[in-house]
Structures are given as C-alpha cells and as structure tokens.
Amino acid sequence: MPSILSGFAAYPSSLREVRDTFGQLSQEIQRRHLPLHVDTWENNDIAGYCLVDPILEKIQTADFLVADITRLNFNVIYEIGYAIAKSKRVILLQNRAIRPQPELMQELGLFDTTGWKLYQNSGDLSQYLGRFAVLSG
C-alpha cells in the first residue's frame, strides 16, 4: 500500500470558485482513491480560537503545501513563505476561471522564478495532485 502524503491548502476565502474547489477537494481525492490527505484552513476555523497557530502547525507537519495564487492574498503569501522556510514542497496554482494579477505578481517579484499549475475545478486539481503523489511516493 502506498504511503499517504499529507498536504495543507492555502487559498483566499474571497474567491467563490477557489473556495468551492478546495471545499470539494477532499471528496474528490476519496472518490479517486488517491494516496493523499489535504487539510484546509477552514477545518481550523473555530469561533473563539486563534486561526494562525493551527495553520502553522498543519504546514509544519504536512508533506507539502498547495496554494492558490490566482489573486494575491497576504495570508496565502505568508503561508507560502512559512512553508518554504520549513523546507516544504510548495505547489502553486492559478484558477483558469479568474483573471490573474500579472502586474501585481511581477511587482511583488516572488513568483517570477516559480512555476504554477492552472486548474479549473476539484477534478483538475485532484488529478494533478494524484500525479504529484505518485511521483513523490
């Protein structure tokens, strides 16, 4: 039996298409019987509790971080930086259905030497992550 890779998903809540895709990702992974488990920050969103510490703990214990950079978001960029500092594999994504911010990305300068993958829905995303799991396992 292949080992199960654990991941953490970082994405902005303000983009409905992105939020819905990541919300359906776990079900799609299970449906495809992929050797993956991907946690989202929304699983830690409990009223009255600090959101940051559980997220950083999840990133630290995860095998990889998958992050949506379609529209730049301070929290997502922070989580990407944290994952890089912890020597985690970082998978960057952009949603095809949403116009990206190439000018802002170029001005930021963080992602101009890093590749990213385009996706449209949870099926696309789970298929890509499944290939990643096979190559990493």
| Topology adopted by domain 5-136 | Rossmann fold (3.40.50)
The pLDDT confidence band at residue 3, using thresholds 50, 70 and 90, is confident
Mean pLDDT of the chain: 86
DSSP-derived secondary structure for 83-124: HHHTT-EEEEEEETTS---HHHHHHH-SSTTS--EEE-SHHH
Question: With contact defined as beta carbons under 8 Å apart, do 108 and 11 qualify?
Answer: no
Domain boundaries, the chain: 5-136
Indicate yes or no: pTM above 0.75. Answer: yes
Q: Which of 4-13, 104-113, 128-137 has the lowest mean pLDDT?
A: 104-113
Output the pLDDT for position 137: 62
CA gap 99, 23 in Å, rounded: 21
CB atoms within 10 A of CB 5: 20
Least confident of 2-6, 50-54, 91-95, 115-119: 50-54
Give the other-Cβ count within 10 Å of 36's Cβ.
Answer: 25
Predicted confidence at residue 1, as pLDDT, reads 45
- 71-109 pLDDT, tens digit per residue, is 988 999 999 999 999 999 999 999 999 987 777 777 776
Residue written as token pair 């949870």: 122
Q: Are 9 and 62 in contact (CB under 8 A)?
A: no
Q: How far apart are CA 80 and CA 121, in angstroms?
A: 21
pLDDT, residue 46, reads: 58
**Residue range 44-62: mean pLDDT, rounded:** 79
Phi/psi for 99 (5° steps) reads -65, 125
**Amino acid of residue 126:** S
Stretch 51-56: mean pLDDT: 84
The tens digit of pLDDT for each residue in 20-31 reads 999 999 999 999
